[in-house]
Amino acid sequence: MTASEPHQQTNIWQSDAQRVLYAQLCNAFYAREIARLVTEPSEQRLRAILKSLPYYIERAATRVVNGTAPFVLDPQNGSWLDKQKAKPPTQNDLADFYSLNKKLGLIVPLLVNNTNLTRVAIDSIDQVSDNKLHCNEHGWFDYQGRGLEGQNTVLLKPSKATMTAACCGHQWRFSKRSTPRILSLREMLLASNINWRNLKRPLCS
């Protein structure tokens, strides 16, 4: 994929509605990322991020517009909406899933437990060894889904329910439903590349 692809795709939308949706998403993603970058302490890193920001925003917006995510899209906030479960998901059905499905590029859900707040995050597998795997952002886990770096995070089995919670930013405070969080641009890119026909395989495989 080249840096010019999103620009080319925006010229071949099939309808005015798609063009409007694309513009709304770009505006939402820009507003989100600019607010986040205000706190970036490194001037050098800030310049690098700003240089690549248009490409990644247009790429994310293009993927969302052309995607098949089974949710309601809120274009004003650049987020997906779906009914939230009363309780957070559990690892009960994980079994041997990751020992059998440890594929590079697989997009996976994770349960992140902070003080009084539990949320479902989204990440992708970028390294695999004989008895452990590495997620790009969240680090190393064994095949039972347990974190190996002291993180308060466990892997979940990809399913419609867990991936919905991850893509829609579902979180729980004191084990009760809380207001969904807004996903980062990186998470939106991952979420828009999920293989909904077969959650055990990366979209490109």
Q: Coil, strand, or helix at residue 25?
A: helix
For the stretch 37-64, pLDDT in tens is 999 899 999 999 999 999 999 999 999 9
In angstroms, the CA 144 to CA 137 distance is: 18
In angstroms, the CA 192 to CA 66 distance is: 9
The mean of the pLDDT values for the chain is 89
Q: Using 50, 70 and 90 to split pLDDT, how confident is the model at 8?
A: very low
- The confidence score (pLDDT) of residue 92 equals 82
The domain locations on the chain are 5-66, 80-191
H helices within the chain, ranges in order? Answer: 5-10, 16-37, 43-66, 97-100, 160-167, 185-191
Identify the CA nearest to 183 among candidates 95, 101, 79.
79
Angle at 72 between CA 69 and CA 73, to 5 degrees: 85
Identify the CA nearest to 112 among candidates 159, 156, 79.
156
Rounded alpha-carbon distances, angstroms, from residue 23 to 3, 17, 28, 55 = 18, 10, 9, 14
Q: What is the 3-state secondary structure (H, E, C) of 155-185?
A: ECCCCHHHHHHHHCCCEEECCEEECCCCCCH
For the stretch 107-144, pLDDT in tens is 999 999 988 899 999 999 999 998 999 999 999 999 99
In angstroms, the CA 176 to CA 171 distance is: 8
**87-96, 106-115, 150-159: segment of lowest average pLDDT:** 87-96
Query: Can you read off the two tokens belonging to residue 195?
Result: 């293989």
- The confidence score (pLDDT) of residue 138 equals 95
- The confidence score (pLDDT) of residue 13 equals 57
Q: What is the mean pLDDT of residues 62-68?
A: 91
CB atoms inside a 10 Å sphere around CB 50:
13
Sign of the Cα torsion 25, 31, 34, 39 reads: negative
In angstroms, the CA 13 to CA 20 distance is: 10
